[in-house]
Structure 1
Amino acid sequence: MSRVIPNMPGPFLDIFIPYWGDPGYMKLTIDSVLEQTNPNWRLTVVDDAYPDSTIENYVSSLADSRITFIKKKQNEGITASFRTSLQLAQQDLVCFVGCDDYLLPNYVEIVLQAHEEFPEADIIQPGVTVVDADGKPSKTLVDRVKQRLLRPRSSTPLLLSGEKLATSLLHGDWLYWPSLTFKTASVRKFDFRNEFPIIQDLALVVDMIVEGNSLLVVPEKCFAYRRHSDSASSVLILSGSRFEGERDYFALAAKLARSKGWRRAELAARLRLTSRAHALSLVPILLKTGDGGAFRTMVRHGLGA
């Protein structure tokens, strides 16, 4: 028998989890949705033809009318899963949660309250805590830079838009994509850029900003982002492939900023200082591995070539 949970008055959040990965992590992600203090959510699992029925069986065992499971016939990749998720969204708000991340119990409560107080915000970035592969608090250099140096500081919700926001993000991407909540109608006007599979999250947000959309930064922490070494972005970082993609994207971002007359944003895209500094910080590691190709790519990117 299906379990039906009474809804609270107000808007609803469509939560999508594109799934391909560790079933153990995925169960924790689903459980974190079930533990929300505000029940006004709908969850859809988009299984990208993962060769295992563990999660399908788990969702079925929950018998919760708010949860839908969709399994694709063949693997299409994360970008296609994002598109599928957005096409299926029916609520006013939507988010795309990573299948190894998890929501803190107050996530839905925080983003719905933020939407109520700032209905003009097209994107909501709530506070994020970073954890490692074992779920323990993590303090990597990347996250210290994001949270202490790049992210705008405010003890109250902060609404940002225009060139100031674009410049900030092009200096250094301080967003955590899986934690973002979007106005469904706003994000549907845009598409993911196939040519930038690793940095497509920043590409989509910048496209939205260029077209006049706004972002709300909420200080309260309500999302756990898992940082571990075997993620797709981490593997591509050490191969140098990520930075090649970043260089191409920042060249495009500079053109977009110039088309708006945003000189500071264009300069930030051309300098790409944080991206270059990140590359140079990895040079000592690559010297030890002996990967000459990746080493040359990293140095070239770091020096702005």
Structure 2
Amino acid sequence: MLDIMLPHYGELPLLRTAVQSVLAQTDDRWRLTVFDDNPAERVTGVPEYFAGLGHPSVRYHRNPQNLGITRNFQQCVDRAEAPFLSMMGCDDVMLPGYVARVHDLIGQHPDAVLIQPGVEVIGSDGAVVKTLADTTKRRVYSPRVAGTTRLTGEDLAVSLLRGNWLYFPSLVWSTREVQAVGFDLELKVIQDLKLILALVARGGSLVADDVTVFQYRRHNESLSASTAVTGNRFSEARSFFLAAAEQMDAHGWPRAAKAARWHLSSRIHALTMLPAAAKQRSTESVRVLTKYAFGRPR
């Protein structure tokens, strides 16, 4: 059984598409739980949609008060019951073979802590797209994956600190391991990387697969994108990477510590955000982004 935990914040049409993609799985060894964290004014039609589904493997929970992104993620982790879970985005799409492929990989690697299935990127209209960010992920930061590859230890930490090439909503997690660590509730946009690095430091392995079974939706309306333009993302990221460098040093992983201090891909990302910040005439955002991109590593 795979627990598919879906933290919901968006609009009903995209949520409906996501849910229907789960219902269309060729392997029925799944259970879907939706945690609706939308503000009250955006809930219209969502409870009625799930009531109308009447599917025994679909559960809907409306948070009595808004938790925010990270606390809703943590709720997904805390409420999982199956040995493995995924935290699907409310605007993403599982291709019909996702659950079947994940179970195959779990069977081959039952002690894996993380599984990264094959992913393709789609735009707001659902069409497959190739963006600069995703091309860079694959060609520069992602390790070469031919078939199925198992990654562990400092090499994995270094690759993620140079550039986080994972697609968080597509990941499959060992429930026991992720419940033992949990998210940092103080973080808003880089909480996934901190959790993943903690799992790697505990000795966890990641299995990466090249069979495409998931569609990740890339658009500019996400919290991550909006906070990037304002510079808030990079204030959080700078603190995270400096702390990560100290942790990697303490763990005896000097190459990972160096990668954390340089955090090259994050600096490049800040540079790409500068034109948008300048266009908005946000002096403070330009200052934060410039300092982050060109600041000396500590």
- Shared fold (TM-score greater than 0.5)? yes
Counterpart among 176, 181, 193 of residue 172 in structure 2: 181
Q: Which amino acid aligns with 2:23?
A: L
- Counterpart Cα distance in 1 of 2:39 and 2:206: 34
Q: 209, 214, 220: which one pairs with 1:218?
A: 209
Counterpart for residue 31 of structure 2: 42
2:219 to 214, 225, 228: 228
Pair 1:249 & 2:240 matched: yes
Corresponding residue to 1:172 among 163, 166, 181: 163
Distance in 2 (CA, whole Å) between partners of 1:272 and 1:301 is 10
> Could you say which residue in structure 2 is the equivalent of 1:205?
196
Write the distance in 1 (CA, Å) between the matches of 2:79 and 2:66: 18
Structure 1: 4+ residue segments shifted above 6 A: none
Amino acid at match of 1:240: G
Indicate the residue corresponding to 1:25 in structure 2: 14
Match of 1:3 in 2: none
Query: In angstroms, what is the RMSD of aligned CA positions?
Result: 1.2
Cα distance in 1 for partners of 2:181, 2:192 equals 12
Q: Counterparts of 2:71 and 2:281 in 1: how far apart (Å)?
A: 35
Q: Is the contact between residue 21 and residue 50 of structure 1 (CA under 8 Å) also seen in structure 2?
A: no
Aligned to 1:9: none
Query: When the two structures are superposed, what TM-score results if normalisation uses the length of structure 2?
Result: 0.96
Query: How far does residue 250 in structure 1 lie from its aligned partner after superposition?
Result: 0.3
Asked if 2 retains the 8 angstrom alpha-carbon contact of 1:276 and 1:304, the reply is no
TM-score (norm 1): 0.94
Give the counterpart of 1:158 among 149, 154, 165. Answer: 149
Q: Is the 8 A contact 1:94 1:181 kept in 2?
A: yes
Residue 30 of structure 1 aligns to which amino acid in structure 2? V
- Cα distance in 2, alignment partners of residues 189 and 103 from structure 1: 27
The number of equivalent residue pairs is 294
Q: What is the CA–CA distance in structure 2 between the aligned matches of 1:70 and 1:127, rounded to whole Å?
A: 29
**Alpha-carbon displacement from aligned partner over 1:13-58 (angstroms, at most 9, x marks no partner):** 0001111111110000100000001110000011125422412211
The residue aligned with 1:84 is 75
The correspondence for 2:255, drawn from 251, 264, 284, is: 264
1:56 matched to 2:47 = yes
* Secondary structure class of the residue paired with 2:213: strand
| Greater alpha carbon shift after TM alignment, 256-265 vs 76-85 | 76-85
Structure-2 separation of matches of 1:38 and 1:74: 34
Q: Which residue of 2 aligns with 1:8?
A: none
CA contact (8 A) 1:19 1:50 kept: no
- Assess if the C-alpha contact under 8 Å between 2:77 and 2:182 holds in 1: no
1:144 aligns with 2:135: yes
- Inter-partner Cα distance in structure 2 for 1:20 and 1:237: 19
Stretches of structure 2 that go unaligned for 5 or more consecutive residues are none
Instruction: Using the TM superposition, name which of 41-50 and 108-117 deviates more.
Output: 41-50
Q: Residues 244-293 of structure 1, C-alpha deviation per residue, up to 9 Å, x if partnerless?
A: 11111001110110111101000000011111111112223333332111
Measured in 2, the distance between the counterparts of 1:81 and 1:291 equals 31
User: How far apart are the structure 1 equivalents of 2:189 and 2:271?
Assistant: 19
* Deviation (angstroms), 1:304: 2.2
| Alpha-carbon separation, structure 2, partners of 1:281 and 1:232 | 17
Match of 2:180, SS state, is coil
Q: Name the CA distance, whole Å, in 2 between partners of 1:260 and 1:53.
A: 49
Runs (5+) with no aligned partner, structure 1: 1-11
Contact 1:125 1:215 survives alignment (8 Å)? yes
Does residue 194 (structure 1) correspond to residue 185 (structure 2)? The answer is: yes
Are the structure 2 counterparts of residues 20 and 282 from structure 1 closer, same or farther at C-alpha, using a change threshold of 3 Å?
Answer: closer
- Once residues 91 and 187 of structure 1 are traced to their aligned partners in structure 2, the CA distance between those partners, rounded to angstroms, is 12
- Report the Cα distance in structure 2 between the residues aligned to 1:54 and 1:32, rounded to whole angstroms: 19
Alignment-mate amino acid for residue 117 of structure 2: P
Task: Report if the CA contact (8 A) 2:230-2:277 is conserved.
Answer: no
Is the contact between residue 121 and residue 215 of structure 1 (CA under 8 Å) also seen in structure 2? yes
For 2:99, which of 71, 91, 108 is the aligned residue? 108
Q: Is the 8 A contact 2:152 2:206 kept in 1?
A: yes
